[in-house]
Amino acid sequence: MSESSSPRAASFPSSPGDPRVDVTQGGALLRSLTGPLARWLPRQRWFAGKGRPLAGLTLLSATELLPCDAPGYAPGLLHLLVRTRQSGPAPAAGDCYQLLLGVRAALPPDLMPALVGRPSEGPLRDRAVYEALYDPRLAAVLLERLRAPGRLGALRFDRAPGAEIPRGLTARALSGEQTNSSVVYGETHILKLFRRVSPGLHPDLELPRALAEAGCTRVPAPCAWFEASWPDGDGGGEPLTLGVLQPYLAGSSDGWQLALRSLGSRADFSAAAHALGRAMAEVHTALAQTLPTSVLDRGQLEQTATAMHDRLAQAAGAVPELRPYRTGLGRAYAALAGYARGGGDCLAQRLHGDLHLGQVLRRSGEAHWSVIDFEGEPARPLADRRLPGPPVRDIAGMLRSFDYAACQHPDGGSWAADWSRASRGAFCRGYAAASGFDPLSTPEVLRAYETDKAVYEVLYEARHRPHWLHVPMTAIRRLAAATP
């Protein structure tokens, strides 16, 4: 749907503090919501367009899950898909976001932090519009919908055959800063709502569902999900995945917390890392058995090495600290190209895409690791995130994560470096034992992917968390000095 042809597009002043709303086209609902959303959206953690003024909104779909004009204090519930328009040097198509808004005549004090705003005009005039996920009563409506498959407006709710979803579970929104929004129901289920959405099957539904169907027990199996048909037949007719309900692993800690605990008590992590390597090998093996794979040939591996070189050049342009290591790091990519020229190839398959210690969970007292969050790197386009790649890419992500954890150790120094080395080795051995493929058997490939990841981290830390820059720089020095 083009913005200019949309009957439901609105623009607002570039100053977010200015309450005037310049409605350029119709849409009574949007007229109500444009001003409050213009101020609220850029403040959300999941809003991707930070730093560029919000210039307009298009309402792609609106679905009333509960009527918003009920008399008295009954809350209404609106599901919206909106596309943002942002001003900047190059006008971009804009991102599409999923919003769940509660509507009440008056907001109880405990819901005040969830307030989006009070529209000054249109059908929602003077009503309190708020983030519905923080209202357990409204979050419960969503669960009821997921329990009962079917269509509602643009939305379609589906449930896995045989999945048990009890009625009346108490809802609790997770408050941590995340890319998406999650609600825990009765400590038995968790619903993840994707915020920035695009057409196409979402890998965080696709991969766990494929793994569950393959009998892999490493991933909480999706029990229900919901999607929207892309308004006006745009988006190639592919539905947008909006949310996934899965079992909640109550009482679990993530690998990052467990690693820090191990470092804090100067305890060895090798056994846990070995078990983690086994778990990831099981996930990769099941993905390779159920979803398409290919073999990266000489040309593709050489192209990969060139793309890595280019990313290094770009990062070194932006981060002066990286420049002294360019030659050493470049040798890792040259070694990958040399491996390809020597006849080496590489399996490509569907991957986790953003593997690190924060993406694996273990219940207290149990040795079993579960893997979550298969969305890949959220900044990349959905279609890219669904492309097959070498398993070593995921492995390199986890190996880098051990290094990140070790750098959190208060004393740092050689003990933490030894902890990391031992954990990394154990992870690779566990992976090899369960899959038959030892990541260390193709050192050129592993080193190139690890280097590429560390270069990415340098750029990320320099831009967003300069006080963390020393973490990837430690790896950069090691990788640049290594002999291919």
| Helical residues (DSSP H) of 214-351, grouped into ranges | 255-264, 270-290, 298-318, 326-341
Residue 428 interacting partner from ligand ATP, Mg ion, none (CB closer than 5 to 8 Å by kind): none
Q: Which of 84, 246, 290, 423 binds ligand ATP (CB under 6 A)?
A: 246
Minimal distance, residue 293 CB to ligand ATP, in Å: 25
| Contact partner at residue 260 from ligand ATP, Mg ion, none, CB < 5 to 8 Å by partner kind | none
If phi > 0 it is left, if psi is from -120 to 50 it is alpha, else beta; for residue 442 that is beta
Residues 196-235 that bind ligand ATP (CB under 6 A): 220
Residues that bind Mg ion (CB under 5 A): 179, 373, 375
- Our CB check for ligand ATP shows the closer of 193 and 395 to be 193
Tell me: does residue 192 bind ligand ATP (CB under 6 A): yes
- 61-79 b/e with 16+ CB inside 10 Å = b? bbbebbebeeeeeebbbbb
Angstrom CA distances, 16 to 21, 44, 53, 80, stand at 10, 14, 8, 21
| Residue 290 contact, options ligand ATP, Mg ion, none, Cβ 5-8 Å cut-off depending on partner type | none
- What does the longest C-alpha to C-alpha distance in the chain come to? 75
Reported residue count of the chain is 484
From the list 54-62, 140-148, 244-252, 454-462, the region that binds ligand ATP by CB under 6 A is 244-252
CB of 378 to Mg ion, least distance (A): 6
Are 329 and 455 a contacting pair, CB within 8 Å? yes
Query: Do the Cβ atoms of 397 and 355 come closer than 8 Å?
Result: yes
DSSP one-letter string for 211-222:
HHHTT-TTSPPP
> Which residues, numbered 349-368, are part of the site for ligand ATP (CB under 6 A)?
358, 361
Burial class (CB in 10 A: 0-12, 13-18, 19+), 279: buried
Place of tokens 């004393």: 411
Sign (positive or negative) of CA dihedral 73, 79, 85, 86: positive
Q: Does 56 bind ligand ATP (CB under 6 A)?
A: no
In the bound complex, what is the minimum distance in angstroms from residue 178's beta carbon to ligand ATP? 3
Instruction: Pick the stretch among 29-37, 115-123, 153-161, 177-185 that binds ligand ATP (CB under 6 A).
Output: 177-185
Backbone φ, ψ for residue 483 (5° rounding): -90, 125
Q: What is the smallest separation between the CB atom of 98 and ligand ATP, expressed in angstroms?
A: 13
The distance in angstroms from the start CA to the end CA of the chain is 51
Q: Does 180 bind ligand ATP (CB under 6 A)?
A: yes
Q: For ligand ATP, what does the binding mask look like between residues 312 and 351, x meaning CB under 6 A? A: ----------------------------------------
CA 221 – CA 108 distance, rounded (Å): 36
By CB under 6 A, residue 190 contacts ligand ATP: yes
Interaction pattern, residues 397-426, with ligand ATP; x per rule: CB under 6 A = ------------------------------
Region of 72-80, 261-269, 371-379, 469-477 interacting with ligand ATP (CB under 6 A): 371-379
What is the SS3 assignment for 25?
Answer: coil
Question: d(Cα 79, Cα 64) in Å, to the nearest integer?
Answer: 6
Contact between 257 and ligand ATP by CB under 6 A: the answer reads no
Task: Please count the residues of this chain forming the interface with ligand ATP, following the rule CB under 6 A.
Answer: 18
- The first and second tokens of residue 253, run together, are 């800690």
Residue 256 near ligand ATP by CB under 6 A: no
Q: Which residues bind ligand ATP (CB under 6 A)?
A: 174, 178-180, 182, 190, 192, 220, 246, 248-249, 252, 254, 358, 361, 372-373, 375
